[in-house]
Amino acid sequence: MTPDPTPLEISPDVHRPLEHYDWNAIFQHLDAQGWALLPGFFTVPAARALARTAGPIALPALRLALYQRLLPLARAWAAALDLPASYPDDYTDWMQRNRDAGQHRALSAAGTLEQGGYQALMQHDQGQAVFPLQLIALLSDPEADFSGGEFVMTEQRPRMQSRPMVLPLRQGDAAIIAVSHRPVHGARGVYRVTTRQAISRVRSGQRAGLELLLHDGP
């Protein structure tokens, strides 16, 4: 599905305040697993309203708040991986860095998958200015609206088989996930793990989800 070029503005009060969550625990789970749940992030009415949207979604206040929350972990991961990436304190400066790198395409969007549909393994790591963490959310009810359609992440570790993970999302739940790479502390030091995301085949009904990126695409 080709996204509508005009982002839809959504009121910032449709989601639970970030302060509701234990961010120390979230960072620990992200370090350990590459993902962390935000249970009940969207109310059911808000999730259903977002599910009716097909195309880019503008959540500027949420993007700003998430950037500020996730900035320490993004910097820590870059330092652990000895990457040249740097993330400014100010989100406006970060987005200007996107523009300077030729990244103008909105990546944040709501989308649906019909019966038989799926999303192949992918990453949102195109461009020079890539933020290493993003938010995803499930907008429809897996107990009533669809079956199948699990959100799956894989991790490829050096000299090991890929590890699949299924995120236990319910309607309105969100999760913070690694976009493409993250550090893992092993017995011989830090090594780099490559992560990808997918959605398994929808067996029945219609599945709606949201992806919120903190960088734009080229």
What are the Cα distances from residue 195, in Å, to 39, 53, 104, 124, 128? 22, 27, 24, 10, 18
Name the residue among 213, 210, 171, 168 with its Cα closest to residue 29: 168
The predicted-structure confidence for 37-68, as pLDDT tens digits, reads as follows 999 999 999 999 999 887 788 789 999 999 99
Q: pLDDT class for 85, splitting at 50, 70, 90?
A: confident
Burial 150-177 (b: 16+ CB within 10 A, else e): bbbbebeeeeeeeeebebebebbbbbbb
Query: Minimum mean pLDDT among 7-11, 28-32, 45-49, 142-146: which range?
Result: 7-11
Query: Minimum mean pLDDT among 7-11, 113-117, 147-151: which range?
Result: 7-11
The predicted-structure confidence for 137-162, as pLDDT tens digits, reads as follows 999 999 999 999 999 999 998 877 88
pTM: 0.92
